[in-house]
Structure 1
């Protein structure tokens, strides 16, 4: 069976999620108080409705508790975001993801029972900052305050060396998850796998360890 999602708030973030889920063939209920927004997504989502989600009876009438996952992407109205989340928690929705505006908003959302809180603007800012700082970092995904997954581009320093030669796990406490070479992706590469100039290495580890490894092995001088 297809999973059923409800997206509350059809701004840039909510609208993007709505489109992406719909493109992947999921059943999506799009909800907003703005009629123009709802009309915009009427042909994209499975259903689109104008509704005030801070009203418990409205949520019940939408059958919101039957959805597998509800995403609260309400824009600048923090009060509406908090009230909506509280209602969803009280109705027993299985999984609730909420967009936070700031750290205070996040604390409140966690207190009232949101299952996952996201900061799309902040997280994107962190990714861009990492990409700007290092020419070797192609992409960056923060897993927690201390752990991340990064894509590093291999240069002359590691060219022709195997993973066992580099001993990345023992020396840096990081794990190489995959190596991308052109169109080919080698997931969980063997220790005997050799690296070549231009390979993309996908690594998981603690930020301090990744930074140390990047400096030692991937920071080629021009």
Structure 2
């Protein structure tokens, strides 16, 4: 079944989320109180509505109770962001993701029931820092303040060795959960410890940020 999303606030963050979900073929209800934004997204989202989402009556009339996941993309107006998140929670929305302006804003959003809070600027800063410090990290997904999943391109120091040889779990406290083949592009979930790593393979690794950093530093080719 196609999942249904609603995005409230079509600024840089909310607009980007709306575009990406729509590209993936999801049903997206785009909501903003600015006519220009709704005009922009009318041909992108499944539905685009001019509305003031800080009005509880409006949220009910839009039928948000039937939406699987609501993304609150409002960050600059902290009061509206908090109010809307609280009302969505009271409406019984299954999953709420909200954008936070700062750490205090994040704490409040989590306290009132947001399932996930995004710091676009902070998270992008961390991602850029990882790419600057590393030649091998392709993707970095933050699971919490201390744990992440990363995709690491196999370095020359890894090629030809097996996971048993590298002993990543014992030496670095990280787990290799999958290997993407550089040749076939196939993904091997729970790879065997005896299979040698090939050039251009990509290791999908989960662990504490500090442990991932030690691992990457050891095998970095710079």
Aligned equivalent of 1:191: 193
Q: Structure 1: 5+ residue runs without aligned partners?
A: none
Aligned equivalent of 1:170: 170
Structure 2 length normalisation: TM-score? Answer: 0.92
Q: Distance in 2 between matches of 1:22 and 1:210?
A: 33
- SS of the aligned residue for 1:184 comes to coil
Aligned equivalent of 1:219: 220
**TM-aligned CA deviation for residue 210 of structure 1:** 1.7
CA RMSD of aligned residues (A): 1.6
Which portions of structure 1, spanning 4 or more consecutive aligned residues, are displaced by more than 6 angstroms? none
Q: Structure 2: 5+ residue runs without aligned partners?
A: none
Q: Distance in 2 between matches of 1:175 and 1:131?
A: 21
Instruction: Map 1:56-67 onto structure 2 (within 5 A).
Output: 56-67=56-67
The alignment covers a number of residue pairs equal to 220
Q: Distance in 2 between matches of 1:75 and 1:208?
A: 30
- SS of the aligned residue for 1:156 comes to coil
**TM-aligned CA deviation for residue 85 of structure 1:** 1.0
Change (3 A) 1:52 1:136: same
Q: Distance in 2 between matches of 1:197 and 1:179?
A: 12
Aligned equivalent of 2:8: 8
Q: Distance in 2 between matches of 1:201 and 1:127?
A: 18
Q: Distance in 2 between matches of 1:212 and 1:50?
A: 49
Aligned equivalent of 2:88: 88
Mean Cα displacement is larger for which, 156-165 or 38-47? Answer: 156-165
CA contact (8 A) 1:155 1:196 kept: no
CA contact (8 A) 1:27 1:45 kept: yes
CA contact (8 A) 1:148 1:205 kept: yes
- Per-residue CA distance 1:87-145 (angstroms, 9 max, x = gap): 11122222111111111111111122212111122111101101101222222211112
- Per-residue CA distance 1:69-93 (angstroms, 9 max, x = gap): 1110014111111111111112222
Change (3 A) 1:207 1:75: closer
Q: Which of 200, 203, 213 is the matching residue for 2:202?
A: 200
Structure 1 length normalisation: TM-score? Answer: 0.92
Change (3 A) 1:142 1:89: same
